[in-house]
Structure formats: structure tokens, C-alpha cells
Amino acid sequence: MESNRQKKFAGLLQEELAAIFQREGAAYLPNTLVTITKVRVSPDLAVAKVYLSFFNTNNTNLSVATVNSHAGEIRYKLGSRIRHQARVIPTLSFFVDDTNEYVERMDQIFDKIAKERKDNDNQEGED
């Protein structure tokens, strides 16, 4: 379970990384909108897992790999933004946040179940 300190630091990282991607994200991924959906920080605040959502891209795995290849540069820019607020600038690891895909898949399953129930109720009513 995350401590309040971890949550506050994660919120700061999320806000600052969002600003970095908003201003300079086109340099890494042209014509792609990157959203930071969640940041998880280790208890010692030295490692941050950053979950990204991509809009207007065909290959999310390639996009996250591209962002990971620029992790050092992004960390440097983050460091220059939070140097007065943090003692240590965390190592950044970027991951794809597939929550939206999961929600869509679950919605499709529930719609299918609802349709099957409706079809079964109609067939029972005809008997």
C-alpha cells in the first residue's frame, strides 16, 4: 500500500511529466497524443513506473518503446523542473496503460451476455 508521501510525489511526477509531454511530446512521437494515466513510486522514491495512454497511434508497443528509449532525456527534463522539490530524481520506466482496452472488452462481453439473455427470454416467451 502506498504511503501519503508516495502518493504526493507520484502526483507531482504525473503533473510535471504531463507538462513535458504536452510541450515536447511531438519530438518523441509526432502526431500522437500521450496521456500519463498513473504513476507508481517505490517506497524510497527512487523508481517511478509511469503508465501511458496513447491516442492516434497504431502500435502502442512501439510507442512505449520509443518513449522508453528517451527515458534518460525525459528524466533530465523532469529533474530540471523538480530539482527544488525532490532530493532524488527517480529512474523512469514507461508502460502501456491498457485500462481502456480492458473496459471496452468487458463492455463487449456484457453486451453479448445481455443480448443472449434477451434472445433466450424471447425464445421462452414463444414456447
Instruction: Write down the domain spans for the chain.
Output: 4-96, 99-127
Q: Report the mean per-residue pLDDT for the chain.
A: 89
Closest CA to 47 of 97, 99, 9, 96: 9
Please provide the CATH number assigned to the domain covering 4-96. Answer: 3.30.300.20
- Residue 76 is predicted with a pLDDT of 96
Question: What pLDDT, in 10s, does the model give residues 70-127?
Answer: 999 999 999 999 999 989 999 999 999 877 777 778 888 988 888 888 888 777 766 5
Question: What pLDDT, in 10s, does the model give residues 16-49?
Answer: 999 999 998 888 888 888 989 999 999 999 999 9
Pair 58, 43: CB distance under 8 Å: no
The reported pTM is 0.77
From the number of C-beta atoms within 10 Å of its C-beta (0-12, 13-18, 19+), residue 68 rates as middle
